[in-house]
Amino acid sequence: NAADKGTYPYYMLKEIDEQPAVMRKLVQEYFGDNDVAKIDEKMLKDMAEADHLYIVGAGTSYHAGLVGARIFEKLCGIPTSVHISSEFAYEQPLLSKKPFFIFLSQSGETADSREVLVNVNKHNWPSLTITNVDKSTLSREATYTELLYAGPEIAVASTKAYTAQIAVEAILAQALGVYMGKQAAKDFDVKHQLGLVANGMQSITDSKKKIEEIASRYLSKVPNAFYIGRGMDWSVSLEAALKLKEISYVQAEGFASGELKHGTIALIEDHTPVIAIITQDRTAGLTRSNLEETQARGASAITIVSRHLAQEDDTFILPDVDEVLTPLLSVIPAQLMAYYTSLGKGLDVDKPRNLAKSVTVQ
Ligand code: G6P
């Protein structure tokens, strides 16, 4: 039974370990034996005709949207913005003339996100819900729906739904880009890349011992920590910090590394952990120098780096995949560090205080 913990002490660890299988399942469901993803043509047409994509979500789903927006812009050339549903619902920004809405929700039941969808439907704007739960409220009420195929996610802290959301966004963005005739999308073999991602995830989850050691050495006794990065890596930093906050109660912040010097670096003290995510060619050197600036002020530096950008003393080396998919790998050590920090503190990893898996109040 998919909702059984088996030999795992916590669902969260099981769900982290399931991520390679989820990637393979997504490839199977969306591509089967074909090279082109099976996506509703009518939806692709509606999306291609839009002048702006609005991605809406809460919590981890919002963070998956931050990554997805960068992928849609890169592969489809459509301006894409990402919104926290509880903000958008009550302070709706001025919209473009032809909006298309993408709702990200693991449960498909989040009240804040539904509030936005109800309004979207009043205007007859086309929408897509990407969810893990077939026939959930958000999937029934949107114009189109796509599934995450991640299997039941039980741990409150979301892991496999996050990576599944990013993978589905990449599959859709590639299909849409090809539909629109965009060269960047034609050049991006998402099916093959997701296979590489699955293998890469596997190799990271196989190195738990080292991740546990780093967590216990650097994170278990500190009140606060920083994840830093630029671009995609910043987007992942936000999710990485959320994992640490949610289950280990370390006050963690995901920060745009170049912005540290404009104020936040004042918080760095001796032994403050600063974890840099470095996967993007264009910004790797810049993030490294920002990390060095924190080290000069006493920070303990930890790095999560794509292999081709790695240096001798980097902490975690990620297998190389296409630059738009690196979040699928860089988040894994962060998920595991949060897990082991929580475990080491003797906390209930699956049921952190004050949190619910699905929030159906506004
Ligand atoms: C709750 C959960 C989070 C989740 C958020 C959005 O706050 O604790 O893990 O990211 O809801 O949930 P959704 O089901 O809409 O993705």
pLDDT tens digit string along 135-163?
A: 999 999 999 999 999 999 999 999 999 99
140-166: b or e for each residue (b if 16 or more CB lie within 10 Å)?
Answer: ebbbbbbbbbbbebbbbbbbbbbbbbb
> Structure tokens of 332?
């894994």
Instruction: Report the atom number in ligand 1 closest to the C-alpha of 161.
Output: 16
Where does ligand 1 bind, in terms of residues with CB under 6 Å?
Answer: 58-61, 105-107, 110, 113, 156, 158, 355-359
Q: Is the ipTM of this complex over 0.95?
A: yes
Residue 189 Cα to ligand 1 midpoint, Å, equals 30
- pLDDT of 286 reads 98
Residue 327: pLDDT over 70:
yes
Instruction: Report the atom number in ligand 1 closest to the C-alpha of 157.
Output: 9
Give pTM, 2 decimals.
0.97
3-class secondary structure per residue, the chain: CCCCCCCCCCHHHHHHHCHHHHHHHHHHHHHCCCCCCCCCHHHHHHHHHCCEEEEEECHHHHHHHHHHHHHHHHHHCCCEEEEEHHHHCCCCCCCCCCEEEEEEECCCCCHHHHHHHHHHHHCCCCEEEEECCCCCHHHHHCCEEEECCCCCCCCCCCCHHHHHHHHHHHHHHHHHHHHCCCHHHHCCCHHHHHHHHHHHHHHHHCCHHHHHHHHHHHHCCCCEEEEEECCHHHHHHHHHHHHHHHHHCCEEEEEEHHHHHHCHHHHCCCCCEEEEEECCCCCHHHHHHHHHHHHCCCCEEEEEEEHHHCCCCCCEEECCCCHHHCHHHHHHHHHHHHHHHHHHCCCCCCCCCCCCCCCCCC
Instruction: Report the atom number in ligand 1 closest to the C-alpha of 158.
Output: 9
Q: How confident is the model at residue 2 (pLDDT cuts 50, 70, 90)?
A: low
Pocket test for ligand 1, best of 359, 360, 361, 362 (most atoms within 8 A of CB): 359
- pLDDT of 317 reads 98
- pLDDT of 126 reads 98
Cβ atoms of residues 99 and 50 within 8 Å: yes
Cβ atoms of residues 149 and 164 within 8 Å: yes
Range with lowest mean pLDDT among 109-113, 205-209, 298-302, 358-362: 358-362
- pLDDT of 1 reads 63
What mean pLDDT comes out for the span 252-275?
A: 96
Residue 60 Cα to ligand 1 midpoint, Å, equals 6
Q: How confident is the model at residue 320 (pLDDT cuts 50, 70, 90)?
A: very high
Q: Known catalytic residue: 357?
A: yes
> Which residue has its alpha carbon closest to ligand 1 atom 13?
105
- pLDDT of 340 reads 98
